[in-house]
């Protein structure tokens, strides 16, 4: 699967609504009882998931969302033409391309690529940019636009207005950026008055999101003087490695004289003329998990075994659960063994895969403990609360903790219930895709608002349908 193609109705995007952002109780979600759920959410548009089938086949996961975002923002700062081969064509990346167009860039979409041309002397000096619910786009652009002359307003959905950016803005202000809050301090909407970033030294708390540090590392390359960043806390560290790898493709980088310190000597980014986006391990985890769960076999093509993407580690976690992995030059084959074992896992380095593991946990012998992910409450939804609630409605037992979940494998040796349930993805693409995994072995499940997967994996339902036959 490559980038720019038409979508079926199942793959179309839909706006994302707001959701609570700051719940952090410790509670147990009891299994649902009865023959049917009460008040199914959006049942008329729900998509049923076939249960009891073994997943088999081969597919190429979509291109990396993380790298597509970073390459597009780096192209903005490099200010040179770029042909991006196999970019992710999804809701979030389309929003970023629209932002480039608002900034005066010419964007030509072709099958399997997008061609970017900078505006030159015709660049606008102001723009209002819609970030939807794309947190990566928002944070990377706050940093980048601090270095682009003009006045830039950034806003998005109600949920985006609940996603924090205060530590990033504070650090940028330390470096001389002019950024004004338009509403609640620490959250969008905000206005960036861009220009030459003076540079200097700042201290950053990136405990909420590694995107704060990624934004600073990128923006520092356009500063007037060297930038030193002292990092007080860092969540999801592998995403910073993705940023550094992307910077290297544009001739940039950072020194790391200490584990908690980064130093950037500003220099013009030398953008490549053509750049290919590798496959997305985050998306690949869903078919891989489906194979492990159903005892099937899936070959995932176009994945780089040496990729800096942190979610590559989830494949190793699947091995701990009992699956088998076979790497080849063209990708990896994941084979389920018919049995899953519970794990105790700190997923702070790959938080996007918490819902994926939680989806498998009720079928794993023992008790699965997921920890180290308090920042998961600040994503497209509160993912800890969302998975606890929806798995509970399916009949699983889930204990929600401030930084994770505890899920006993009650269906490892017993049949799951089969009463019909329409689960709510909480307007979150990863919740929808993860609950679809559970539904492969828990009969009677439909996913409300299935189109939310268009945020990162527009072809998810097509690929799942092909794998279950």
Q: Do 423 and 444 form a contact (C-beta atoms < 8 A)?
A: no
* Per-residue confidence (pLDDT) for residue 268, from 0 to 100: 85
Listed residue (450, 401, 11, 316) closest to 387, CA to CA = 401
- Read off the pLDDT band of 330 (50, 70, 90): confident
**Least confident among 2-16, 313-327, 337-351, 434-448:** 2-16
Mean pLDDT of 437-452: 98
- Read off the pLDDT band of 358 (50, 70, 90): very high
Give the percent of the chain with pLDDT over 90: 88
**Higher pLDDT, residue 27 or 145:** 145
The residue written with tokens 């205060």 in the block is 166
Q: Do 14 and 370 form a contact (C-beta atoms < 8 A)?
A: no
Indicate if the pLDDT at residue 254 is higher than 60. yes
* pLDDT tens, position by position, 101-159: 999 999 999 999 999 999 988 899 999 999 999 999 999 999 999 999 999 999 999 99
Q: Do 434 and 358 form a contact (C-beta atoms < 8 A)?
A: yes
* Per-residue confidence (pLDDT) for residue 271, from 0 to 100: 78
65-276 folds as UDP-n-acetylglucosamine1-carboxyvinyl-transferase; Chain (3.65.10)
Given this chain, do its domains 9-62+279-468 and 65-276 carry the same CATH topology? Answer: yes
Mean pLDDT of 343-361: 97
* pLDDT tens, position by position, 148-163: 999 999 999 999 999 9
Q: Residues with catalytic annotation? A: 352
* Per-residue confidence (pLDDT) for residue 20, from 0 to 100: 30
Listed residue (110, 119, 174, 176) closest to 146, CA to CA = 176
* Per-residue confidence (pLDDT) for residue 120, from 0 to 100: 81
- C-alpha to C-alpha distance for 42 and 422, rounded to whole angstroms: 8
* pLDDT tens, position by position, 269-321: 987 999 999 999 999 999 999 999 999 999 999 999 999 999 999 999 999 99
Q: What would you report as the CA-atom Rg of the chain, rounded to the nearest whole angstrom?
A: 22
Model-level pTM greater than 0.85?
yes
Exposed, middle or buried by CB within 10 Å (0-12, 13-18, 19+), for 257?
A: exposed
* pLDDT tens, position by position, 182-212: 999 999 999 999 998 999 999 999 999 999 9
- Read off the pLDDT band of 8 (50, 70, 90): very low
- Element at 370 (helix H, strand E): strand 367-371
- C-alpha to C-alpha distance for 465 and 469, rounded to whole angstroms: 6
Sign of CA dihedral 435, 439, 440, 442: positive
* pLDDT tens, position by position, 206-234: 999 999 999 999 999 999 999 999 999 99
* Annotated domain spans of the chain: 9-62+279-468, 65-276
Mean pLDDT of 241-268: 95
Indicate if the pLDDT at residue 407 is higher than 60. yes
* Per-residue confidence (pLDDT) for residue 387, from 0 to 100: 98
- Read off the pLDDT band of 44 (50, 70, 90): low
Q: What is the CATH number of domain 9-62+279-468?
A: 3.65.10.10
Mean pLDDT of 259-266: 96
DSSP secondary structure string for all residues of 251-297: T---EEEETTEEEE--------SEEEPPB-HHHHHHHHHHHHHHT-E
């Amino acid at each position: 699967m490559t980038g720019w193609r038409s979508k079926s109705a199942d793959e179309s995007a839909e706006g994302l609504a707001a959701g609570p952002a700051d719940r952090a109780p410790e509670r147990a979600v009891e299994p649902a009882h009865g023959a049917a759920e009460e008040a199914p959410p959006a049942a008329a548009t729900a998509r049923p998931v076939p249960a009891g089938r073994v997943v088999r086949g081969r597919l190429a996961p979509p291109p990396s969302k993380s790298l597509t975002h970073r390459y597009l923002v780096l192209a903005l700062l490099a200010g040179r033409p770029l042909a991006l081969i196999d970019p992710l064509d999804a809701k979030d990346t389309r929003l970023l391309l629209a932002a480039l167009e608002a900034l005066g860039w010419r964007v030509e979409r072709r099958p399997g690529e997008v061609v970017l041309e900078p505006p030159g002397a015709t660049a606008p000096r102001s723009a209002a940019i819609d970030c939807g619910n794309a947190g990566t786009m928002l944070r990377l652009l706050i940093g980048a636009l601090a270095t682009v002359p003009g006045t830039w307003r950034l806003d998005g959905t109600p949920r985006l207005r609940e996603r924090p950016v205060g530590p990033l803005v504070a650090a940028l202000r330390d470096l001389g950026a002019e950024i004004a809050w338009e509403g609640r301090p620490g959250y969008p909407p905000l206005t960036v008055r861009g220009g030459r970033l003076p540079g200097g030294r700042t201290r950053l708390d990136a405990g909420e999101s590694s995107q704060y540090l990624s934004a600073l590392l990128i923006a520092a390359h356009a500063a007037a003087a060297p930038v030193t960043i002292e990092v007080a806390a860092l969540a999801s560290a592998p995403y910073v490695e993705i940023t550094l790898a992307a910077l290297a493709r544009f001739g940039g980088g950072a020194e790391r004289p200490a584990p908690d310190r980064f130093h950037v000597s500003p220099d013009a980014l030398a953008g490549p003329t053509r750049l290919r986006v590798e496959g997305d391990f985050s998306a690949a985890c869903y078919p891989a998990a489906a194979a492990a769960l159903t005892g099937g076999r899936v070959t995932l093509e176009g994945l780089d075994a040496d990729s800096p993407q942190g979610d590559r580690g989830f494949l190793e976690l699947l091995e701990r659960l009992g699956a088998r992995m076979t790497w080849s030059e063209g990708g990896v084959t994941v084979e389920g063994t018919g049995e899953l074992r519970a794990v105790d896992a700190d997923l702070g380095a790959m938080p996007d895969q918490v819902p994926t593991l939680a989806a498998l946990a009720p079928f794993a012998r023992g008790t699965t403990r997921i920890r180290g992910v308090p920042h998961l409450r600040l994503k497209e939804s509160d993912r800890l609360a969302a998975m606890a609630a929806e798995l509970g409605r399916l009949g699983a037992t889930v204990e929600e903790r401030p930084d994770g979940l505890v899920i006993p494998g009650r269906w490892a040796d017993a049949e799951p219930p089969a009463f019909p349930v329409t689960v709510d993805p909480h307007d979150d693409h990863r919740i929808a895709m993860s609950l679809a995994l559970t539904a492969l072995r828990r009969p009677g499940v439909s996913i409300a608002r299935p189109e939310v997967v268009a945020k990162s994996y527009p072809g998810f339902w097509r690929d799942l349908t092909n794998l279950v036959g």
